[in-house]
């Protein structure tokens, strides 16, 4: 009658099966575990959750940055009314829109989070799919200072609640204005774009490649100055730290090691996060598993974003993808054993007449006792076969009714 | 610098703000309350959750039905690779795809649920938006019989866990094969489409409109036969019930009133749910609030859907939208008071030096005690003003550190 369609998911997207006995991959329970742990950590700290539609006016992203998202990677299309819309590639512009839209009603500072799915049109690869989910945590309405410390502590807590510590990851941060002031002090500000590019890819490029890129408009002594900084050469790094002292947030960040003694934080000029957008602190976390060397998340201060919508408020936040998080948790074997505490009870109905008793008494009692159940109605099969079926579905205890 | 963009959400979609002090509308907490209540009710009964991407091959929907979805309402577009894709208008075809894709690995019967967002391209109106969320509950792998009872009891439990009972809603059901057999017994099967159309809109059409539509190909005595059935005229309805006795599920459904004594179930030939797709039981629930007369959910048995993907398994399920559910809960005042148990503690930092104590001792203790907190860093403002700020954010208790 009907033609047969392929049953695979759309390229670059995932299906989330309920039971990881099917596939040894990222199933619904794992995703749910990540989301619920994030929610719990944040909710306990007074953060509140928001959401919006995945469809947005494509102009938001085109205005926001001239980066690759603007054209090739943006998942944009014309709706049937001829509007250019996009499936959101990230949440921050939507957040800015929501805040601008109710700017007078909202009570700042906002400590908000969301776990949206986001889309990029690109060739799917490990750690990057067309659709992924991303925790977004933002604090809006506080100028640089205490809140930078608060956010970096929170990031550590988010890891700790998954059972992770400095054996598994490190958090690295930098400050865009510190870097810019350093560039100015070295008379290298006009070469900013090139130097940003090299620092941004510091651990991907070898020394020859770095030199090659920089030599495009730097002299050899200037190149050495940049290499010294990137390599955390003591004298160069000391100068850099001295510039940082001009920024109030560093009064607080110096306490990080005291406040999160089990974790590793590193101040490093090699954290950039693209050329646009960020205006102060920038941060990334790295998995120490050599098989999973991507950044686990990224973020920073972005004091100008609300201007897209004609408003102004200081803001700081980060995004943390579920794909890299899954790789982090499975790489370090940090997932709990989901089946350990599952007490599933099999109910073997012995005849049609059993049903009233099952629904009227047995099931309400099991629910009362917090036990999950599975009913089997196959009267015509042998009891043995039926027990096997229920065992396979995870029932250890079986009752005949 | 940048041009200012409008901050409203895309037409027919909603923003979900975290705090309903902003807007007296459907905020994140309300949506979350609905979702969490659904999850709890289902998880306790052994149902497991799945998910998939919102993007699907558009062909799935075009093949599935020749209904309005196929062309005008389907939210379809060409991706950058030239594939015709769609934002899913409903979850069932995706479910069928997932099940077909792992058909041999899965252990039937499956009791699955999902809470996806779904899209339709249409003029937004009350109770129908371009994007809505929809609980989908399905049982796959069981032939008609006991499971029809199980599902109708579950539907009642889903309402009861929101504090609803027969004062607020009723569940109506019908059976497509019963209706078809009745049509055959009356020699009216060739006029099926017309009669379905009238029964499907029974409470929207007046007697004149019904007669007018039916008279297109029915004689006046035949029209009277149909009207009698739709009106539950005792003799006609008795005949209809007699036909139902041929179907095994009615052996079980007769126990519904006994098993859900607080609820109202009604067997009615006026429940149709479109012409295609369903193969046995069909069901809908109606809000008794006259202001909200839409069906709250709909569903039924669909034994043929997996054939789209070259597999075969009996299935039954339903979908329940968050927009109508919100209207139901607010119409009957069934939402809990979310702020009642919120114990928010305000932390007034008295100086920069307080921060270490706040992050090292105060906050971990508050988290330990399950208290949500809000920090205020504004040393330069008066204590009174700062207390007011914290009060406005919902802090009753305030501590100075």
Q: Concatenated DSSP letters for B371-384?
A: -EEEEE--TTS-HH
B44 touches A at CB < 8 Å: yes
Selected residues 273-332 of chain B with any CB under 8 Å from a CB in chain A:
307-310
Name the pLDDT band for B197 (thresholds 50, 70, 90): very high
Give pLDDT, residue B1.
43
Give pLDDT, residue A197.
94
Residue identified by tokens 């968050």 is B322
CA distances from B194 to B66, B210, B240 (A): 16, 10, 19
Give pLDDT, residue B275.
66
Helix axes A146-160, A28-44, angle to 10 degrees: 140
From the list B7, B51, B60, the residue facing A100 with the nearest CB is: B7
Cβ–Cβ of B51/A60 closer than 8 Å? no
Cβ–Cβ of A121/B377 closer than 8 Å? no
A77 touches B at CB < 8 Å: yes
- Rounded distance, CA B391 to CA B381, Å? 15
CA atoms B180, B181, B183, B188: torsion sign? positive
Average pLDDT, integer, range B294-304: 91
Mean pLDDT of chain B: 91
Give pLDDT, residue A21.
52
From the list A3, A17, A57, the residue facing B102 with the nearest CB is: A17
Give pLDDT, residue A159.
97
A23 touches B at CB < 8 Å: yes
Give pLDDT, residue A13.
82
A150 touches B at CB < 8 Å: yes
Which pair of structure tokens corresponds to residue B252? 């079980």
Cβ–Cβ of A372/B101 closer than 8 Å? no
Give pLDDT, residue B156.
97
Give pLDDT, residue A127.
66
Give pLDDT, residue B358.
96
From the list A53, A344, A360, the residue facing B10 with the nearest CB is: A53
Alpha helices by DSSP H, listed for A6-145, are 28-44, 59-64, 92-101
Q: Residue B227 carries which DSSP code?
A: H
Burial B96-116 (b: 16+ CB within 10 A, else e): bbbbbbebeebeebbbbbbbb
Q: Cβ contacts of residue B246 below 8 Å, gap of 6+?
A: B178, B181
Q: Which residue in A has a C-alpha nearest to residue B51's C-alpha?
A: A16
Cβ–Cβ of B98/A15 closer than 8 Å? yes
Question: Which residues does chain A have with pLDDT short of 50?
Answer: 1-2, 20, 68-70
- Rounded distance, CA A256 to CA A155, Å? 11
| pLDDT exceeds cutoff 60 at B2 | no
From the list B46, B56, B97, the residue facing A373 with the nearest CB is: B46
Give pLDDT, residue A22.
52
Q: Give A259→chain B minimum CA distance, Å.
A: 6
What confidence tens digit (pLDDT) does each residue in B204-227 have?
Answer: 999 999 999 999 999 999 999 999
Residues of B in Cβ contact (< 8 Å) with A89: none
From the list B16, B52, B119, the residue facing A50 with the nearest CB is: B16
What confidence tens digit (pLDDT) does each residue in A285-323 have?
Answer: 999 998 877 789 899 999 998 998 999 999 999 999 998
From the list B6, B14, B49, the residue facing A28 with the nearest CB is: B49
Q: Is B158 exposed, middle or buried (0-12, 13-18, 19+ CB in 10 A)?
A: buried
Q: How many CA atoms lie within 13 A of A371 on its CB side?
A: 20
A15 touches B at CB < 8 Å: yes
B32 touches A at CB < 8 Å: yes
Cβ–Cβ of A149/B5 closer than 8 Å? no
Give pLDDT, residue A7.
80
Residue identified by tokens 């139902």 is B244
What confidence tens digit (pLDDT) does each residue in B350-374 have?
Answer: 999 999 999 999 999 999 999 999 9
Name the pLDDT band for B23 (thresholds 50, 70, 90): low
B359 touches A at CB < 8 Å: yes
Average pLDDT, integer, range B328-338: 93
Residues of B in Cβ contact (< 8 Å) with A392: 107
What confidence tens digit (pLDDT) does each residue in A183-203 have?
Answer: 999 999 999 999 999 999 999
- Of A8-22, B168-182, B280-294, the range with the lowest mean pLDDT is A8-22
B379 touches A at CB < 8 Å: no
Average pLDDT, integer, range B156-167: 97
CA distances from A145 to A141, A242, A280, B3, B55 (A): 12, 17, 11, 30, 42
């Amino acid at each position: 009658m009907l033609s047969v369609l392929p049953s695979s998911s759309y390229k670059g997207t995932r299906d989330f099966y309920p039971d990881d006995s099917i596939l040894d991959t990222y199933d619904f329970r794992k995703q749910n575990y990540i989301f619920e742990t994030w929610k719990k950590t944040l909710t306990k700290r007074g953060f509140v959750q928001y959401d919006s539609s995945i469809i947005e006016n494509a102009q938001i992203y085109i205005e926001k940055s001239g980066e690759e998202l603007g054209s090739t990677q943006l998942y944009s299309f014309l709706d049937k009314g001829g509007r250019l819309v996009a499936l959101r590639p990230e949440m921050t512009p939507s957040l800015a829109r929501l805040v601008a839209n109710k700017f007078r009603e909202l009570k700042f500072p906002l400590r908000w989070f969301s776990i949206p799915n986001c889309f990029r049109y690109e060739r799917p690869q490990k750690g990057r799919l067309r659709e992924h989910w991303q925790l977004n945590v933002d604090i809006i309405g506080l100028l640089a200072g205490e809140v930078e410390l608060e956010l970096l502590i929170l990031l550590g807590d988010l890891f700790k609640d998954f059972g992770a510590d400095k054996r598994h990851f490190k958090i690295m941060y930098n400050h865009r204005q510190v870097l810019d002031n350093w560039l100015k002090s070295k008379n290298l500000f006009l070469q900013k774009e090139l130097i940003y590019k090299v620092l941004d890819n510091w651990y991907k490029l070898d020394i020859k490649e770095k030199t090659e890129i920089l030599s495009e408009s730097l002299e050899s002594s200037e190149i050495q100055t940049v290499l010294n900084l990137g390599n955390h050469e003591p004298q160069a790094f000391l100068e850099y730290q001295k510039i940082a002292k001009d920024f109030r947030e560093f009064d607080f960040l110096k306490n990080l090691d005291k406040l999160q003694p089990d974790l590793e934080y590193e101040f490093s000029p090699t954290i950039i996060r693209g050329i646009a957008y960020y205006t102060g602190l920038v941060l990334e976390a790295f998995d120490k598993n050599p098989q999973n060397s991507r950044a686990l998340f990224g973020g920073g201060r972005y004091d100008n974003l609300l201007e897209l919508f004609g408003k102004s408020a200081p803001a700081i936040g980060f995004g943390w993808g579920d794909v890299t998080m899954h790789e982090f948790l499975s790489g370090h074997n940090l997932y709990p054993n989901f089946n350990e505490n599952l007490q599933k009870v099999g109910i073997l109905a012995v005849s049609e007449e059993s049903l009233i008793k099952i629904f009227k008494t047995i099931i309400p009692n099991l629910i009362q006792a917090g036990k999950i159940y599975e009913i089997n109605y196959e009267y015509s099969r042998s009891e043995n076969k039926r027990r096997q079926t229920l065992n396979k579905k995870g029932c250890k205890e079986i009752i005949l009714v």
